[in-house]
Structure 1
Amino acid sequence: MDSENVVYHFELEDRKIEFDVATSPGQVNDDAHPEWARLSHRQCECCPLKESDCAYCPAATRINEVIEAFADNQSTEQVKVTVTTAERCYFEECDLQVGINSLMGLMMATSGCPVLKELGAMASFHIPFCSTRETLHRTVGSYLIQQYFKQLKGEEADWELKHLKELYGVLEGLNQDFSKRIQSSATSDALSNAIIMFFATSVVVASSLDEQLARHERYLTNTPSLK
């Protein structure tokens, strides 16, 4: 398989479906897409794009195939999901909404959305079905690596995570706006629930990144519990 692609294979009771997702940033295009995907349709308040840049929302057009594929499915349907990367395979038996959440997180982060692109660095090392603690470790770790390279280039590094905290705050607003866009188009609760789940971690972390890091310090630093 392409080293830059991640393949999600869903096995439902009545069918199997596969999504081949490129982890390199997508390009915004103005090909024909559903009306709900138009940039002007419930555009996120934090979105810096203009219709002169592109007619359609990059994140919406990226996940449209998922919406069409699961339009008639319920969120609690049990599925078998196999995720294949260049390095390894992952397998999970779960509710459909959990599988879609993992898939859409990867798709949206690499969609070309100018807000979500800051999460794209993790796409090259995609790990599906992460817990909140694992996501926190990967997000902060990835961000600090970027700061290291900034410092090497003579740029100002953000070791206090100020911009990351600001980003999570922006994602909290994007969650509400994009969820409204999805709810106006998706006929399946699995899709709506998956979107809510995708942003849930961002909302939790946004409430207090310092608090979350302190809460999970022993886990993140492999420090033995105090007796």
Structure 2
Amino acid sequence: MNDNAYWFNYDIELEDGQSTRFHIALDPLTLTMKPASPEPFPPWTELSYQQCKCCRLSPNTHLYCPIAVNITELVDRFKDILSHKNCMVVCETADRTYSKRTSAMEGLTSVFGIVMATSNCPVMNFLKPMARFHLPFSSVEETTARSTSLFLLGQYFEFKKGRVNRFDFDKLEKSYARVQLVNEGLLARIHSVGKRDADKNAIITLHSISQFLSMEMDFSLTTIAHLFERGPDA
């Protein structure tokens, strides 16, 4: 991995003193995450195991699901942690440090989000630019603004290359509909791994966000539209 890799260190400290660090490094050119766990991988990471309905990969060429491989460590460490358990989460980047006292579920949701977006899953690759500007603990409103803004910026570059001649959210809406299928597939993969629910609820939260974003595309981004309304003297 290039020394210029974009990196994120997540430190999660539970209220009982248990502490875990996750290091995430992205290739500066491809924005693909450096593999988080070495082989051998558990059986539930095999591509053919509970393969997502929208998966574009073939077990003939890809033995493992790229996302499953990268969340193996997360699932293993948190499979028996209750999702509502309090913790302190610190995310350190090259530019700044974020911290929040929150639930294990919200902390894991933030980690899952960037891992899923950068694991080189063909369905999730459209989220790589947003992962480059990762915002830990982002609200639904923040996620909506970031995802739509970056999508339109991407459309602008496509327009300059002559690849598109109109801007709309139809493509983005369809992309998020496929993200929902990936979330469902990952949930099915890890459903029997742990006794409790923090890792599962993190994916459920991501699933809820992707459902919300898909709905927002249909309803003209109503939660952020008011931010752009100008008064009569503006």
TM-score, normalised with respect to structure 1 = 0.91
Alpha carbons of structure 1 residues 174 and 158: separation in structure 2 relative to 1, 3 Å: farther
* Structure 1: gaps spanning 5 or more residues: none
Q: Distance in 2 between matches of 1:57 and 1:137?
A: 30
Q: Distance in 1 between matches of 2:216 and 2:56?
A: 25
CA deviation after TM superposition for structure 1 residue 158, in Å: 4.9
Among residues 26, 33, 36, which one is paired with 1:26 in the alignment? 33
**Deviation digits for residues 145-197 of structure 1, max 9, x if unmatched?**
11111111221155111110111221222232221112132333001101100
> Structure 2: which amino acid aligns with 1:26?
M
**Deviation digits for residues 40-87 of structure 1, max 9, x if unmatched?**
000001001001221010111111110111122111110000001111
Q: How many residues are aligned here? A: 224
1:116 maps to 124
**Deviation digits for residues 86-129 of structure 1, max 9, x if unmatched?**
11111100010110000010111011111111111111111011
Among residues 122, 139, 147, which one is paired with 2:155 in the alignment? 147
Q: Distance in 1 between matches of 2:220 and 2:137?
A: 19
Q: Distance in 1 between matches of 2:38 and 2:46?
A: 10
The SS at the match of 1:216 is helix
CA contact (8 A) 1:76 1:95 kept: yes
List aligned pairs for 1:181-192, cutoff 5 A.
181-192=189-200
Alpha carbons of structure 1 residues 223 and 199: separation in structure 2 relative to 1, 3 Å: farther
1:69 maps to 77
- Alignment partner of 1:58 is 2:66: yes
> Structure 2: which amino acid aligns with 1:109?
A
Q: Distance in 2 between matches of 1:98 and 1:135?
A: 14
* Structure 2: gaps spanning 5 or more residues: none
Alpha carbons of structure 1 residues 84 and 157: separation in structure 2 relative to 1, 3 Å: farther
> Structure 1: which amino acid aligns with 2:49?
H
Give the % identical residues: 31
CA deviation after TM superposition for structure 1 residue 223, in Å: 4.2
Q: Distance in 1 between matches of 2:192 and 2:125?
A: 24
CA contact (8 A) 1:2 1:86 kept: no
List aligned pairs for 1:165-204, cutoff 5 A.
165-204=173-212
Q: Distance in 2 between matches of 1:166 and 1:155?
A: 18
2:8 maps to 6
